[in-house]
Amino acid sequence: MRKPFIGGNWKMNTDSKAAVQLAKDVAQKCAGLLDKVDVSVCPPFVYLASVKNAIGSAKLGLGAQNVYFEAKGAFTGEISCSMLKDLGCKDVIIGHSERRHVIGESNELINKKLIAAIDAGLLPIFCVGELIEERKAGKTDSVVKEQIQKGLAGITVEKAKAITIAYEPVWAIGTGLTATPQQAQDVHLMIRQLIADMYNKEFAAQIRIQYGGSANAGNAAVLMSQPDVDGLLVGGASLKADDFAAMIKAAAEAKK
């Protein structure tokens, strides 16, 4: 049985006061659920330390939204894996669609980041997903396959155990257009079969695959009821503690 995993991607939102308050509210509202569901919040870099402090001893995980693959040196504006570890991060989002399509990150760069993060002891949330024109052209599976094959290039099964995959159709992120539960399930199953081909069936049965894209308190239960949907990566709805807590509860219920 795969333990559900819900991540909150705060993106470039909150300020120092709001970030601390949100972290405290989430920790308090989901306190009774953290044995059943893994939950991480991913604030902007600049609030990681204060959010870690606000979380205190709660079992809530802390994640970053990005990382650079080099260990140190002349990389102005970048943040290393050891810096994230130093601040108490457990997870790191890698390959989010906004980094692929707004900032221009390639599959090759994402691969380097995944390798560096795993080697540093971080747990990557590795995002993949197709554009609307790719879906309309029937290319969803081939696009997602290529992202996964190139992203995981050279990563052994032992190392890949650190990874959660997040299937996030780009057309569903921040748009209010959620994939139907069946659309999500179809791609999740395809990903699991791909992982079985690339690695082995046992690992494919273990790896967690989150869905992301306008998931909210209203649709979390039906998305989580799909057999290959093991969690959610949540943007907008993770900024509202009540909604985020409701989604965590829905995940716990769906997988009991």
Known catalytic residues are 96, 168
Other residues' Cβ atoms within 10 Å of the Cβ of residue 238: 27
Other residues' Cβ atoms within 10 Å of the Cβ of residue 242: 12
Q: How far is the CB of 173 from ligand PEP (least distance, A)?
A: 4
Q: How far is the CB of 59 from ligand PEP (least distance, A)?
A: 22
Asked whether the beta carbons of 144 and 107 are under 8 A apart, the reply is: no
In the complex, residue closest to ligand PEP by CB: 235
Specify the residue, 4 or 212, whose C-beta has the smaller distance to ligand PEP. Answer: 212
Residue 174 interacting with ligand PEP (CB under 6 A):
yes
Two tokens, residue 144: 């997602």
Among 235, 243, 244, 247, binds ligand PEP (CB under 6 A): 235
Residue type, 131: L
Specify the residue, 183 or 214, whose C-beta has the smaller distance to ligand PEP. Answer: 214
Residue 125 interacting with ligand PEP (CB under 6 A):
no
Nearest to 207 by CA among 254, 253, 160: 160
Nearest to 30 by CA among 2, 49, 5, 12: 5
Asked whether the beta carbons of 20 and 250 are under 8 A apart, the reply is: no
Among 44, 61, 151, 212, binds ligand PEP (CB under 6 A): 212
Q: Which residues bind ligand PEP (CB under 6 A)?
A: 9, 11, 168, 173-174, 212-215, 233-237
